[in-house]
Each structure stands twice: as structure tokens, then as C-alpha cells.
Homo-oligomer: A and B are copies of this chain.
Amino acid sequence: MSRPSSFSKLDHHPAYRVVSEKIRSAITSGELVAGDLLPTETELAEQFGVTRSTLREAIRLLEHGGLIGRADRKRLVVTLPQTEQIGRSVSSAMLMHKVTFRELWEVAMGLEPLAARLACANASSDEKSQLRSLWQRTCSAAEGGADHHQLLLECELEFHHRVAQATHNHALLQARAPLNDLFYPAWGAVIRALSPGARIVVAHRHVLEAIEHNQPEQAGLWMEKHMQDFRRGVELAELGFEQPVSG
């Protein structure tokens, strides 16, 4: 065993993984683009020289990544991975790694103000008006008290998501997608404990107006304050800043 073996451990990949990899590379190499229809399962199975069962396992492997899906419940189609779909698997990974409130907050402090700044330059007027109408909904949710906690939570999360969307930066969208999933339970706990509707509304308004008037610095600063509020909220609610975010 201690003898320096010059043989590399030969790795025998199962067929379903090989097939999956072939299809994946065909997609990522641009040979197949989103929207392209794939042949039927039987036909694909023939092309690869495997049985339909094996091919289907390969399909499942890609399906989870959002690379392919069903067009009309029949034909397979190459699809663009959706940020939310990918983000969910990332966030579940974060949950399993027991990411703490602090870790989540630190990353959010890096990404959310950045998103706010970038949104100033890139938000379309349509996105701006949608943000404003969302803010008005947030107002009414904040007034409702405990009855509207769930609604307020959803407004809070949607606000950040829409700001990120307004950047039109897909890398940013993908990077912060999992944060939204983690903030769901996190903000939820804070809201239930403190009813911080008023503070949320104020912060959102300043960010919104900064975006409307194309003031990146202001947008970033107020988003930062908003995240500081979140941190204070976690501490005041005595959730334990160093505790893992519970799914």
C-alpha cells in the first residue's frame, strides 16, 4: 500500500451520469439553446444506446438543475435555469450548514446596498412604479398590526427581490436569491416579535425615493440602515445573533 502506485484509480461512471453530462455539455457549449425541443425519450435512448429507464435517470439529473423541463407535458425542452429554482437548492444547502443570523446579515450587508445602488441606474420606469405600488401595499400591511404580519413579511421580501431585479444584473440576482429564502424565517421571527412595520416602511420609502431620483449613495445608505435595523431586530427579539437561522 505504501508503495507508490503509478496507477490512477480508474473511475467508472454509471451510464446515466455519462448521458446526463453529454446533454449538459451540449447545452452549456451552446450547441443547444434554451427553447430547443429535444427528441422523445425513446428516440434519445436509441441515440445514446441506452434504455429508456437509464435515459430517464439522466433526465432527472438535469431536471433538478432547471436545465431542461417539459414544454407541454410532453416534449422535453431546454430551459434557462430560473434564479428562484437554483436559489432554493442553494438556500437549503445553507440551512443544512447551519448558517447563523450573523453570517446571513454579513452577506446581506454586502449585497443589498449594492443592489440598491445599482438599481438607481438600471431600473426602468415601470419597475420604479411597481416598487412604489408595492410600498403602498407595505404601508397598509404595516398599519394592520399583528393581523397583517404575514402580509408585511411578504412585502418586505418582495421589496428586496424587486430591487435586485431592477439592477438587471443576473449575477447579482443569482448570488442573492438564496438570501431571500433565509430571510423568510429570519424576518418572520423579527416581525412577530417586534412589529417593526413603521421602521420598515420608512426605510423602504427612502430606498424607493433614492431609486426614483437616481441617487445611488442615498439608496445604498438607506438600504444599509435597513439591514442594521434587521440586526437590531434579531438582537432585541433575543433570537440569538449567533444562532443558526431555522428553516
Binding site for B on A (CB under 8 A): 16, 24, 27-29, 34, 53, 56-58, 60-67, 80-81, 83, 86, 89-90, 92-99, 103-104, 106-107, 109-111, 114, 118, 169-172, 174-176, 178-179, 182, 247
Contact = CB atoms under 8 A, between A and B. Distances in A.
A64 B90 CA distance: 12
A106 B170 CA distance: 11
A28 B114 contact: no
A99 B28 contact: no
Contact of A61 (B24, B63, B109, B169): B63
Contact of A92 (B28, B169, B172): B28
A94 B60 contact: no
A219 B122 CA distance: 30
Given A93-B86, A111-B111, A99 B171 contact: yes
A90 B90 contact: yes
A154 B163 CA distance: 35
Contacts of A175: 107, 111, 175-176, 178-179
A178 B81 CA distance: 14
A65 B86 CA distance: 10
A148 to B, nearest CB: 24
Contact of A96 (B34, B92, B94): B34
A245 B59 CA distance: 27
B176 A171 contact: no
Contacts of A27: 96
Contacts of A61: 60-61, 63-64
